[in-house]
Amino acid sequence: MTAPWRPERVQVGEWRITALLDGTMRLDGGAMWGVVPKTLWARLTPPAEDNTIELALRPFLLERGEWRVVLEPGIGGHVEEKWRRIYAIDRRTTLESSLHALGLAPGDITHVVASHCHFDHIGGWLTRDAAEELVPLFPRAEHRAPAVEIAAAQSPDPARKGGYSPTNVRVIERAGLLRPYAGDEELLPGLVAHEAAGHSDGVSVITVNEHGPGEAAIFWADIVPTSHHVQPAYIMAYDLDVPRSFASRSKWLARAAGERWLGLFYHDREHAFGRVTRAGERYAFEPLDGERC
Question: Would you state the pLDDT for residue 203?
Answer: 98
Question: Would you state the pLDDT for residue 293?
Answer: 63
- Cα–Cα dist 121/273, whole Å: 18
Residue 2 pLDDT > 60, yes or no? no
Answer whether 231's CB lies under 8 Å from 283's CB. Answer: yes
Residue 160 pLDDT > 90, yes or no? no
- Cα–Cα dist 18/59, whole Å: 9
Residue 225 pLDDT > 90, yes or no? yes
- 198-218: average pLDDT: 96
pTM for the structure as a whole: 0.96
Residue 3: pLDDT band (50, 70, 90) is low
Residue 1 pLDDT > 60, yes or no? no
pLDDT digits (tens, 9 = 90+) for 109-141: 999 999 999 999 999 999 999 999 999 999 999
Residue type, 45: T
